[in-house]
A and B are shown apart, each in its own frame.
Chain A
């Protein structure tokens, strides 16, 4: 009777599940759940290629892609391409975050600057950043500078917007506490505005990282001799779909990994937030 009742409870009312029984099934596997679909697709894909349902030349199976990546790795080329791309993303992203944060801190604290600069920044944001490529190439040549600047530009806007809106939404009443204690503008910025804006700032930084990855491809598609983006072009030129797929796979892998790194780093920084499902 008791069991029957319990089952009814769980099924019909959506009551909390018995912790002992389901925790083992749900908790550790939460990361694995995300792998189910890709692995199943890969197996199906492999099978389809083996059976000859798809043209191997255009859509080589995962095993071929893996073999190609392994081959690139052995020759040392893969690490060279990876290092080039990661270096560009890292430098450009860091630059974009630094400049975006500085600009937002200035417009967020100095009202005159906000009125002066914010409309222009908002207007520039409307230009798809890829559209800057020709100008950047014209100004800075075709080597590293335009690539890094393009990535920095991509990261700049989300960071700027995140911090700027974060600062503007900091509770006026907290800022007033700063006035009671006679804090100067810099102290108000460092001790009230920036910490208060941190959640929104981090959201912007995360968006900036996503765009940095997007723009590194754009940058490397245009006149690069190394990098994952170059691998894409190379694969297209040589008609080697496995190289293209391998590069796509690596983009997914590293994009996701850097994002996860950022999320886990920021989770602790905003642990003070009293929000619904804070930390997820």
Chain B
């Protein structure tokens, strides 16, 4: 279970990014976070990842307080952020503890690479990978430690529509396999609805949770299905009201 209580972030320059965020996510749920730009979506994710310290509030994962980055959390950023000097296998193995034997690390990385459909490219350098392949590699790097919580910050936003759809499918397949809790930030409403068990709408400045919408539409889902379209419409209306409130 992921428990967020009273989470707030104020920057040194006085900018208030988030205030009073409360959210409880049962284990294994797929949560998407949407909201107008500047509402603190990315800040929320960075706080969960432990990359920034909250000004107030707590984040607990499995009953334990999170302070700073944790081995139980995998992070995929908007950009692949691969080390350009390492081949794919070494990039994916990057986060594995050096205490694990080298051969075991290589085997774990190879398995993660196969899971994201990149088998055969273990020796490729990042400059030889396409954008979609590089983002898959980043996903493999986050998955290789088998995290209980997977955080994704607009992971597909730089890819074309077709590729985005394909990677969404693969993400769902991987999620179904070992069921980590997922928090995915997106500005794409379709993506939010297609993926999520729960959609969290952030809004306002400083940002806070405006709505939490459960999504019971059966999987697999498609954009044109009535349930999906209805939810999309509802979220659009919610976002609209957030936008008005902000201006």
Which residues from chain A sit less than 8 Å from chain B, CB to CB? 171, 173-174, 176-177, 179-182, 191-192, 195-196, 198, 272-274
In chain B, residues 70-105, which have Cβ atoms closer than 8 Å to a Cβ of chain A?
70-71, 73, 75, 77, 79, 81, 83-86, 94-95
**Given the known A-B contacts A272-B125, A273-B84, are A180 and B79 also in contact in the complex, defined by CB atoms under 8 Å?**
no
Beta-carbon contact of A181 and B69 below 8 Å: yes
**Pair B95/A181 contact, Cβ less than 8 Å:** yes
Which residue of the partner chain, among B70, B71, B94, contacts A177 with CB atoms under 8 Å?
Answer: B94
- Report how far A272 CA is from B86 CA in the complex, Å: 8
Chain A interface secondary structure, helix, strand, loop or mixed? helix
Docked-complex contact B49 and A180, CB < 8 angstroms? yes
Query: B122-138 interface mask toward A, CB cutoff 8 Å, 1 = contact, 0 = none?
Result: 00011100000000000
Cβ contacts B44-74/A at 8 Å (1 or 0 each): 0000010100000000000000001111010
A192 partner residues in chain B, CB cutoff 8 A:
83
Known: A180-B95, A181-B69. A173 touches B77 (CB 8 A): yes
Residues of B within 8 A of A177 (CB): 77, 81, 83, 94
* Closest A-B pairs by Cβ, 5 of them: A274-B127, A181-B95, A272-B85, A195-B85, A180-B75
B163-186 residues with Cβ-Cβ distance < 8 A to A are none
B contact residues vs A (CB 8 Å cutoff): 49, 51, 68-71, 73, 75, 77, 79, 81, 83-86, 94-95, 125-127
Q: How many Å lie between the Cα of A173 and that of B78 in the bound state? A: 11
List residues of chain B with CB within 8 A of the CB of A173: 77, 79, 81
A273 surroundings in chain B (CB, below 8 A):
84, 127
In contact, B84 and A272 (Cβ under 8 angstroms): yes
A177 to B68, CA, bound (A): 13
Set of chain A residues within 8 Å of B73, measured between Cβ atoms: 180
* CB–CB B83/A174 < 8 A: yes
10 residue pairs from A and B, CB less than 8 Å apart: A176-B77, A180-B49, A180-B73, A180-B75, A180-B95, A181-B69, A181-B94, A191-B94, A195-B85, A196-B84
Residue among A177, A182, A191, A274 with most chain B CB within 10 A:
A177
Q: Are A272 and B127 in contact (CB under 8 A)?
A: yes
Smallest beta-carbon distance A179→chain B, Å: 6
Q: Which of A171, A181, A182, A198 contacts B85 (CB 8 A)?
A: A198
- With A180-B95, A274-B127 in contact, do A174 and B71 touch (Cβ < 8 Å)? no
The residue in A177, A179, A180 that gathers the most chain B C-beta atoms within 10 A of its C-beta is: A180
Q: How many whole Å from B46's CB to the nearest CB in chain A?
A: 9
Q: Tell me the bound Cα distance from A196 to B85 in angstroms.
A: 8
Residues of B with C-beta under 8 A to A272: 84-86, 125-127
| Interface core residue of B84, B85, B127 (most chain A CB under 10 Å) | B85
Q: Name A171's closest neighbour in chain B (CB-CB).
A: B81
Docked complex Cα distance between A36 and B221 (Å): 71
Query: How far, in angstroms, from A192 to B81 measured CA to CA in the complex?
Result: 12
Q: Give A55 Cβ to nearest chain B Cβ, in Å.
A: 57
> A274 vs B85: C-alpha distance in the bound complex, in angstroms?
10
Kindly list 12 other residue pairs between chains A and B, CB separation below 8 angstroms, not including A182-B70, A191-B94: A171-B81, A173-B79, A174-B83, A181-B94, A182-B68, A182-B71, A195-B83, A196-B84, A272-B84, A272-B125, A272-B127, A274-B126
